[in-house]
Amino acid sequence: MKRTRIADVLHKWQVIGAGSMVNLKGWVRTKRGNKNVAFIALNDGSIIHSIQIVVDLAAFDEATMKLITTGACISVNGILVESPGQGQAVELQAKEIEVYGTADAETYPLQKKGHTLEFLREIAHLRPRTNTFGAVLRIRHAMAFAIHKYFNDNGFYYLHTPIVTGSDAEGAGAMFRVTTLDPVKPPLTETGEVDYTQDFFGKATNLTVSGQLEGELGALALSNIYTFGPTFRAENSNTPRHLAEFWMIEPEMAFYDITDNMDLAEDFLKYLVRYALEHCMDDLEFLNKMYDNEL
Amino acid sequence: MKRTRIADVLHKWQVIGAGSMVNLKGWVRTKRGNKNVAFIALNDGSIIHSIQIVVDLAAFDEATMKLITTGACISVNGILVESPGQGQAVELQAKEIEVYGTADAETYPLQKKGHTLEFLREIAHLRPRTNTFGAVLRIRHAMAFAIHKYFNDNGFYYLHTPIVTGSDAEGAGAMFRVTTLDPVKPPLTETGEVDYTQDFFGKATNLTVSGQLEGELGALALSNIYTFGPTFRAENSNTPRHLAEFWMIEPEMAFYDITDNMDLAEDFLKYLVRYALEHCMDDLEFLNKMYDNEL
């Protein structure tokens, strides 16, 4: 059977139709129940909400059911039904379950309880499975798409400005050096400096701190351009306001005056906020509740 | 008067309406004519085609007209009229012209004649003003947007995987070192190797050769993800098939089998080709004529 995304089941179940057989695949968030029935919360990352899988234990092998613990990866065929319980419109009555991967309850670190961000930092490979990082990643996706859509719909062209460069824009910050020279004994000039003519590009290069210079040249030919790519700052400043690597948006427009600039900034930000409210409400509600109730 | 993009004038002149007063701004491609009338081909990069500006010389100052040479930047208010000439649906009858910037005909390198790509390499800052680079940049924009639109519409989430990293993915190629250590005398360990614990990130880092590792972790949480970002290979191989810096698309899907992969690749490529044909026909026709008639 072809898999259905849980986001589609939860948002479009009336189109799919109660009573339909669907296949869901994902990772188990929790399992609870009694000796007759098990309730599995299954999540596939397509949406912050998990769907409830109802398992009539009489119809399933006990050994298989033991493998279904938090973190396990399973595939379920079942009947989509309207849910009698609160907090969910539909649930799935399991008919077949296949276990793709197990997660040892003793060692799998993402259990039902909340985890601190500091703890999650130590299991970076599992962070996207948490509600918090899932929400952030889905919102970041939506915002990235909205950025491209806004500029595309408004006649701007997207420029991929260079990442490795010999320029430092307008001296925007400390830079990372990019090199393939021998790290211990680099070739030196007669005056004892590094001889960058022998480096990969034949000159000293660094990671870009801004695509502005190339963006301005693009605007002086294509009128309206924007960049949206990674930029780098080697400031050794460990605060929430500094990142060594971050993605930055830079629009550059020929023939704009200060009023045009202000109108663009205002219209752009309003568009992004509106897009987030229309497309990310589930995730915003979660972050609003858990992290900042002024979102 | 608010500026209108030349792309909008040429594609939507029937909506704007013949007889309307419009303002166009851009760069002069050519000027020709006789002692009574001048024809200026004006381009603003929004579209490969220039629009013809018709100037009744009796109504304009001779000194101003002398400044209008190939490469000059001007603003024109004029009446949009259906064109009696061939090869253009509409032209502009100039009423007011303002010269924003001049281009000395003796030294401005982009003249009416064709230029080789090797010559254009030496004036990289002006390349986007040529038909060839303009076409390539507009098509590249359209393809980048289509890539994001395809994945967004199909339930994939966009991941920004790290650019500076300590990993080398699956050993995809030679890597660029990223460092802030003293280039002449880096700190060494007791065994004479570079002591990267003293580097910016406390370890040896390089530019990513692939976002695959992080993409796979994302797919094991969000089901379907894609990356679309710059990647780097330090191979010293100067062929048309190698670039040191290039943008790469990497979709990663949980629960996909080989047939799913093949279907995705086929559907994706068909979508992009169709999108290009629908949105980039002007530029494709130019490249087809000038560079490769099998496009």
Domain identity same for A205 and A167: yes
Residue B118 included in any domain: no
Q: Which of B101, B119, B148 is the last residue of a domain?
A: B101
Contact: A178, B207; criterion CB under 8 Å: yes
Residue A207 included in any domain: yes
Report chain A residues whose CB lies below 8 A from the CB of B26: 223
Mean of per-residue pLDDT scores for chain A: 95
Domain identity same for B140 and B266: yes
Per residue, the 3-state secondary structure of A124-181, as one string, reads HHHHHHCHHHHHHHHHHHHHHHHHHHHHHHCCCEEECCCCEECCCCCCCCCCCEEECC
Q: Is B13 helix (H, G, I), strand (E, B) or coil?
A: helix
Q: How confident is the model at residue A131 (pLDDT cuts 50, 70, 90)?
A: very high
Domain identity same for B35 and B75: yes
Residue A173 included in any domain: yes
In a mutational test of the B interface, the residue from A74, A137, A252 whose CB has the highest number of chain B CBs within 10 Å is: A137
Domain identity same for A56 and A168: no
The fraction of chain B above a pLDDT of 70, given in percent, is 99
Residue among B27, B180, B218 whose CB faces A176 most closely: B180
Tell me the per-residue pLDDT of B9-43, one tens digit each, with 9 for 90 and over.
999 999 999 999 999 999 999 999 999 999 999 99
State whether ipTM is beyond 0.90: yes
pLDDT attached to residue A63: 95
Name the residue of chain B whose CA is nearest to A260's CA: B2
Residue B295 included in any domain: no
Q: Is B6 helix (H, G, I), strand (E, B) or coil?
A: helix
Domain identity same for A196 and A52: no
Residue among A3, A7, A222 whose CB faces B255 most closely: A3
Q: How many CB atoms lie within 10 A of CB B222?
A: 26
Q: How many angstroms away from the CA of B35 is the closest CA of chain A?
A: 30
Q: How many structural domains compose chain A?
A: 2
Angle value at C-alpha A89, between A85 and A94, nearest 5 degrees:
75
Tell me the per-residue pLDDT of A260-281, one tens digit each, with 9 for 90 and over.
999 999 999 999 999 999 999 9
Residue B61 included in any domain: yes
Angle value at C-alpha A235, between A231 and A239, nearest 5 degrees:
95
Domain identity same for B97 and B137: no
Tell me the per-residue pLDDT of A148-167, one tens digit each, with 9 for 90 and over.
999 999 999 999 999 999 98
Q: Which of B101, B119, B141 is the last residue of a domain?
A: B101
Residue A17 included in any domain: yes
pLDDT of B171 higher than 80? no
Residue B161 included in any domain: yes
Residues 6+ apart with CB under 8 A from A158: A148, A151, A152, A225, A226, A227, A228, B140, B141, B144, B145
Domain identity same for A147 and A278: yes
pLDDT of A74 higher than 80? yes
Q: How confident is the model at residue A232 (pLDDT cuts 50, 70, 90)?
A: very high
Residue among A155, A157, A183 whose CB faces B137 most closely: A157
The residue range of the domain holding B213 is: 130-290
Least confident of A78-92, B30-44, B89-103: A78-92
User: Do residues A158 and A145 make contact, with C-beta atoms less than 8 angstroms apart?
Assistant: no
Domain identity same for B134 and B82: no
Domain identity same for B158 and B91: no
CATH number at residue A236: 3.30.930.10
CATH number at residue B79: 2.40.50.140
pLDDT attached to residue A87: 79
Helix (H) or strand (E) holding B117: helix B117-121
Report chain B residues whose CB lies below 8 A from the CB of A72: none
Residue B228 included in any domain: yes
Domain identity same for A156 and A200: yes
Report chain B residues whose CB lies below 8 A from the CB of A181: 183
Report d(CA B222, CA A73) in Å as an integer: 13
Q: Which of A46, A81, A101 is the last residue of a domain?
A: A101
pLDDT of A239 higher than 90? no
Domain identity same for A145 and A240: yes
Using CA atoms, how far residue A91 sits from A49, A52, A73, in Å, is: 12, 5, 18
Report chain B residues whose CB lies below 8 A from the CB of A254: 25, 44
**Among A27, A26, A29, A28, which Cα is nearest to A112's?**
A29
Report d(CA A78, CA A94) in Å as an integer: 4
Domain identity same for B235 and B181: yes
The fraction of chain A above a pLDDT of 90, given in percent, is 88
